Amino acid sequence: MITAINKRNQALVTRASKWLAKYNEANDLRNEADDSGDDKAFKKAEALCEKSFNNYLELVSELPLREKKNIEKVLW
């Protein structure tokens, strides 16, 4: 779990970090599907990537920039 710089933001930081982790997992699946040439799995992983990254961006837009940098430093 990532600790927020400001404790008031902890709930949003936790939720945003979970969505970024889901995006990273889906991105790995998408890369594997692309390497193997499986179009169906690629499209499914692509949709999951899009959904999870959009949710991450929505949550991060409510956080200060330093919190966003903190999350990305740990998970990227």
How does pLDDT run across 22-62, given as a tens digit for each residue?
999 999 999 999 999 989 999 999 999 999 999 999 999 99
**What is the model's pLDDT at position 40?**
94
> Which pTM does this prediction carry?
0.88
**What is the model's pLDDT at position 16?**
95
How far is 47 from 73, CA to CA, in rounded Å? 25
**What is the model's pLDDT at position 76?**
75
Structure tokens at 69: 């940098």
**What is the model's pLDDT at position 1?**
78
